[in-house]
Structure 1
């Protein structure tokens, strides 16, 4: 985020109930992370309730939603939630927005607008609402807003956009305060920064004005094979939610991911996991291994210009153990190597 000295390291936590996620948030604060994020996937964990618990249990760390979507939750309600979290936490909340997964929407019988337009209108509208203004008449906010469309007790909030495809990345650069590019594989951060920079330029800004988090999937454990199995299962579950264009751009086969998603849809998750493990490339979507493996790959990202690395689930076979390794070994080493 603008004005932050040195690199930013954040962690994305999920799985389990509210108590477990809150424990992860407290542990992230103790272990020296700058930000902690949790998601709100349809049919997933209790993300919105978890955010409130995380903010209430911590005092320093920033807490973000990664991500809320404007389809299952109306932008007005998102603005109300964000303002409330800002007020209750003393300004530590970050609103992460994304298009949401069409795979999950289909399961709920939801037919949403196209991803880029629905995200853009949400960002513009929520920005206005949290600043005490009406979105009526604002370019990009969409039609139908009334001049009296204002919320009570607005609080300005940083808005980040979760993105993977080129158009969403440019949208983040043009309209948001930060970006959460899902860098699958991690080296995609280079292309992501370039695309976000184009969007920033179109909005009259520079890339340096945004907090661009290189969001990577990480499975950390000294038992490398165990770590691989955990990452493979996670990749299988989300194989149909990834941008086919982004996968193809990095030499990955979108059809392989589509076949894996078909197995998941049929309830054959174990078989889908084995398919990922046997693939020659699917595991390259994340960072896997022990502390040394993670350090080497993160150093490459920082050397390439990344200034915020966000480590995401599954984190490892034992997330609490992985968090401790981050706090005791990975983060201190990375901060020391990029210190001025």
Structure 2
């Protein structure tokens, strides 16, 4: 699995006009981005949306970051993933997440995150076309889920984390498992504008229990989580400034042990942030 050192994580590459998505993906591939990540959101045809990107590109990996195990049947995911790998040169990475108790309830199931994820992985492996461990990652945040990811998948794709978190994950996992953190970025040098854009996107996640607990484990306080996030929290989990400042945050993750960092541009002026992606292309690899 060759993700490269940097990639792009984008809602737009899943939700925008299909023709616009295809054109943007082809350009991003030419610019040298190692991977294009799309979110699972509320379910839907995540494999079809992955295929649109695979069809438009030649070199970039296409990664799901991440699909909820409550919204996709493992047999369907295994079969679809196998077809994409066969058709497009093994460039698809399946990211999985256990979501939260509300997602389990919506599926009519109790919420036992470790057991639920382990059972889902079992079913992927027992499918007629099994998903190899090296072709899947997990949205692990806590130490127990991180341990499971290290044993049974290629590695972890954590959301809203700091380079210090990356260092702790690398210490726990040791050499081998992939660490590919999500990193929100704002290309804005004015602190007030940059932090406002960051809060506009991340504020809703601070009220979600599993993300709040992750941030508290990372050393933030309840006060840091209040009112859309303190400046300290925002500056720690969002990289803002010019391209050089974004590059410094990427380097910090890599120095801490990350293999790949996927950048999510927030606060862009356009619906499809191609101008920002082009500016960041010097960081692509």
Same fold (TM over 0.5): yes
Shift of 1:14: 0.7
1:128 and 1:104 mapped to 2: Cα distance? 24
1:176-197 deviation digits (Å, cap 9, x = unpaired): 0232122523431111222333
Shift of 1:174: 0.7
Aligned partners of 1:219 and 1:230 also within 8 Å: yes
SS in 1 for 2:139: strand
RMSD: 2.9
Deviates more, 1:58-67 or 1:115-124: 115-124
Look up the match of 2:181. Answer: 214
Shift of 1:224: 5.0
Identify unmatched segments of 5+ residues in structure 1.
130-149, 198-206, 260-274, 336-340
Identify unmatched segments of 5+ residues in structure 2.
none
Shift of 1:104: 5.2
Q: Could you say if the C-alpha distance between residues 294 and 69 of structure 1 is closer, same or farther in structure 2, counting changes exceeding 3 Å?
A: same
Look up the match of 2:237. Answer: 285
1:253 and 1:224 mapped to 2: Cα distance? 22
Correspondence 1:227 to 2:224: no
TM-score if structure 1 supplies the norm length? 0.71
Q: Could you say if the C-alpha distance between residues 158 and 172 of structure 1 is closer, same or farther in structure 2, counting changes exceeding 3 Å?
A: same
Shift of 1:169: 0.9
Match of 1:299 among 251, 265, 274: 251
Look up the match of 1:37. Answer: 37
SS in 2 for 1:163: coil
Shift of 1:162: 1.4
TM-score if structure 2 supplies the norm length? 0.84
Deviates more, 1:234-243 or 1:117-126: 234-243
Shift of 1:302: 2.4
SS in 2 for 1:238: helix
Correspondence 1:248 to 2:216: yes
What aligned pairs does 1:1-340 form with structure 2 within 5 A after superposition?
1=1, 8-15=5-12, 16-19=15-18, 20-42=20-42, 47-103=46-102, 108=106, 110-129=108-127, 150=128, 156=132, 158-197=135-174, 207-208=175-176, 210-222=177-189, 225-241=192-208, 242-254=210-222, 257=225, 275-276=227-228, 279-283=230-234, 284-314=236-266, 316-318=268-270, 319-327=273-281, 329-331=282-284
1:11-38 deviation digits (Å, cap 9, x = unpaired): 1111443525444433321221111110
1:110 and 1:223 mapped to 2: Cα distance? 47
Aligned partners of 2:186 and 2:241 also within 8 Å: yes
2:238 and 2:61 mapped to 1: Cα distance? 24
Shift of 1:292: 1.8
Look up the match of 1:269. Answer: none
Deviates more, 1:242-251 or 1:83-92: 242-251
SS in 2 for 1:216: strand
SS in 1 for 2:40: coil
